[in-house]
Amino acid sequence: DAGVIQSPRHEVTEMGQEVTLRCKPISGHNSLFWYRQTMMRGLELLIYFNNNVPIDDSGMPEDRFSAKMPNASFSTLKIQPSEPRDSAVYFCASTLGTGYEQYFGPGTRLTVT
Amino acid sequence: KNEVEQSPQNLTAQEGEFITINCSYSVGISALHWLQQHPGGGIVSLFMLSSGKKKHGRLIATINIQEKHSSLHITASHPRDSAVYICAHPRLDKVGEYGNKLVFGAGTILRVKS
């Protein structure tokens, strides 16, 4: 299995631009998570899906952030418009379900100038 | 106060030393996760345990549910063990069940020198 796949691996964009991060979970996994990691705040859960349905988006910073999971094998995290404070590493993870280990993707390093 | 406290924050060891990283939490939990993040950034799940002890190669994880404490041990440490080690546990949801949402510690930065 290829593991969790994320793209792009690096993204540099200017403030105000739209950014879309992509994730392909491990086949057969029912839950998908989007995390953000910064030096100041560590790992933070932004949103997670069970069976393609958003369950908890309380970690989404503000309306500029949105996430979708149109099917079991694909999810996106969109930031529009982006701001310099959004610069971070964004991880996607998936798991078989509650009580199972989470498998993390390699992350997308986002820099907003 | 963070629900998950790790110690030490930073640890430097000589190759071959036995290493212990501690994790304390303040609420009852269903399981505890240990994660490893290498300098390249990737995060790997090392262990998920709810009682006793688990061993994988040179890594050993223990948990004491009553004392709300877990430890990660590395035997015969090697420079390739240099990484950030993070403990985490599922958070209780609104209906009092343990879901998928993890609460993370701040991490322990380990550097093993040759």
CA atoms within 13 A on the CB side of B106: 12
Q: What's the confidence (pLDDT) of residue B97?
A: 63
Q: Does B46 touch chain A (CB under 8 A)?
A: no
Residue of A nearest to B97 (CA): A98
Tell me: the pLDDT tens digits for A64-89? 999 999 999 999 999 999 999 999 99
Q: Looking at beta carbons, which residues of chain B come within 8 Å of A107?
A: 41-43
The percentage of residues in chain A with a pLDDT greater than 70, rounded to a whole number, is 99
Burial class (CB in 10 A: 0-12, 13-18, 19+), B95: exposed
Residue A1 has pLDDT above 90, yes or no: no
Nearest CB neighbour to A45, from listed B30, B86, B101: B101
**How far apart are alpha carbons B114 and B111 in whole angstroms?**
10
The answer to whether the CB atoms of B30 and A99 lie below 8 A apart is yes
| Interface contact flag, B107 A42, Cβ < 8 Å | yes
Phi, psi of A77, deg, nearest 5: -125, 120
Q: Does B60 contact chain A (CB < 8 Å)? A: no
Predicted confidence band of residue B93 (pLDDT cuts 50, 70, 90): low
CB-nearest partner of B100 from A42, A48, A91: A48
Alpha-carbon separation of residue B45 from A61, A81, B27, B42, B90 (angstroms): 26, 33, 22, 10, 14
The pLDDT of residue A2 is above 90: no
Evaluate if residue B37 carries a pLDDT over 60.
Answer: yes
Selected residues 72-101 of chain A with any CB under 8 Å from a CB in chain B: 89, 91, 93, 95, 97-101
Q: What is the pLDDT of residue B95?
A: 62
Question: pLDDT grade, residue A61 (50/70/90)?
Answer: confident
The CB density around residue A73, as the number of other CB atoms within 10 Å, is 16
Contacts of B48 in chain A (CB under 8 A): 100-101
Query: B83 versus B98: which is more confidently predicted?
Result: B83
Average pLDDT over residues A43-62: 90
Name the minimum distance, in Å, from the CA of B107 to any CA of chain A.
Answer: 8
